[in-house]
Amino acid sequence: MSRALPPPRGDDPAAFGRVAVLMGGTSSEREVSLSSGGSVLAALCSRGVDAVAVDGVPALVDALRADRIDGTGFDRAGFDRVFNILHGGDGESGVLQGLLAALRVPVTGSGVLGSALTMDKIRTKQVWIESGLPTPRFERLASGADLAAAAGRLGYPVFVKPSCEGSSVGVFRVLSADDLAPAVAFAQQYAGELLMEQMVRGDELTVGILGDVALPSIRIVPAGEWYDYHAKYVADDTQYLCPGLDGEVEDDVRALALAAFRAAGCSGWGRVDVMRDRERGLQLIEVNTAPGMTSHSLVPKAAAVLGCDYAALCWRVLEQTL
């Protein structure tokens, strides 16, 4: 497994043509996406790329349809490629990827399969289990399911989370039956499937993927009891230790993350979240195919350890569409 990034393919921003930086949208992660997208846009422009912000998939479709047909036939005058930084929703579900594949417009990140599969935490875990990769035991909960019964089967403590959301939206840490009420109340008004997962006690790690390289792991040490939405996007006292592990176990976590990424049909770039259990060792949690690129985000932190600054990282992600 490579520990170094290959050299960039080139340095001419004109090679990219006109780039849509797709951000915002309508998912529960809209605000985070706008923050990520603004930073990506500024970074690309600083490198001379002709990049334009586009808010959401309908606006992108309108831009791509404009001026597509001229006197000579089919044209793609609107945009030559898309830097997708839509978090959640159609940006990570395979909808955007299928649309752009049909229109033959290159887009950053995973294709239809990897995006659709990893948007669903339950089905991602099913693929990992079939592939012999380690992940905590879980229960798949349909709307209206009995959370108390599921927790009884798994054993406390557990996490309860929507199968198809991100950024810690709707995640509940349940240490005992006394803590279950908020999760039950959420489940009663949430229409989708929920994942109940055995809680892993130990180090919280994440590994960025860039092409065929697993970046150095980051060990996350929140000031509070766990890494929730506040710790991710608001707090300034969360510690990020990179590399998160030493020696052979650092090699192991990076190799596991890359194997998990590939097993889920992912490509391009992304991030794999892993826990190191005190008894069971490394355990896979989930994949993010459009990771955050805010000032608090983790992939830029890991890339920097390999000498790749924020603007260079954005360039390398966009290069994968050439």
Phi-psi region of 74 (alpha: psi -120 to 50; beta: other; left: phi over 0): beta
Among the options 30, 81, 254, 271, which is catalytic? 271
The residue from 24, 37, 268, 292 that is catalytic is 292
CATH number, domain at 180? Answer: 3.30.1490.20
**3: pLDDT strictly greater than 90:** no
pLDDT of residue 74: 43
Percentage with pLDDT > 70 across the chain = 91
pLDDT for the residue 189: 83
pLDDT confidence band for 188 (50 / 70 / 90): confident
- The reply to whether 288 belongs to the active site is yes
* Catalytic residue from among 27, 233, 267, 268: 233
Show the domain range for 18: 13-109
Confidence of residue 71 (pLDDT cuts 50, 70, 90): very low
Say whether 84 is catalytic: no
306 and 261 share a domain?
yes
What's the pLDDT at 191? 79
Catalytically annotated residue among 33, 36, 115, 167: 167
Q: What is the rounded average pLDDT for all residues in the chain?
A: 89
- Taking residues 15-36, what's their average pLDDT? 93
Please tell me whether residues 217 and 284 are part of one structural domain. yes
Active-site choice (27, 39, 84, 288): 288
**Quick one: 205 and 166 in the same domain?**
no
Tell if the pTM clears 0.85, that is, is over it.
yes
- pLDDT for 191-224, tens place per residue? 788 999 999 989 999 999 999 999 999 999 977 6
Q: Are residues 70 and 129 in the same domain?
A: no
**CA triple 86-64-12, angle to 5 deg:** 75
- Torsion sign across C-alpha atoms 319, 50, 310, 166: negative
User: Can 236 be counted among the known catalytic residues?
Assistant: no
- Whether residue 194 lies inside any domain: the answer is yes
pLDDT at 12: 96
Give the count of alpha carbons within 13 A of 112, CB side only.
6
Tell me whether residue 165 is one of the annotated catalytic residues. no
In a domain, 54, yes or no: yes
CATH no. for residue 205? 3.30.470.20
Q: What is the mean pLDDT of residues 246-254?
A: 95
Region 37-63: mean pLDDT is: 96
Would you call 217 a catalytic residue per the annotation?
no
Residue 190 within any structural domain of the chain = yes
Mean predicted confidence (pLDDT) in 155-167: 83
Residue 144's pLDDT is what?
Answer: 80
Q: What is the pLDDT at residue 201?
A: 87
Q: Out of 273, 297, 310, 316, pick the active-site residue.
A: 273
User: Which has the minimum average pLDDT: 122-126, 190-194, 214-218, 229-233?
Assistant: 229-233
Give the domain-ending residue among 153, 177, 198: 198
Total count of domains within the chain: 3
Q: Are 258 and 281 part of one and the same domain? A: yes
The one catalytic residue among 286, 297, 310, 316: 286
| CATH of residue 20 | 3.40.50.20
| Predicted confidence (pLDDT) per residue in 266-280, tens digit | 999 999 999 998 888
Average pLDDT over residues 25-49: 94
Same domain, 304 and 256: yes
Average pLDDT over every residue of 314-320: 97
Joined together, the tokens standing for residue 162 give: 């929507």
Residue 322 belongs to a domain: no
Say what the pLDDT of residue 311 is.
97
Integer-rounded Cα radius of gyration of the chain: 20
Q: Which of 27, 29, 84, 227 is catalytic?
A: 29
Verify whether residue 271 is a known catalytic residue: yes
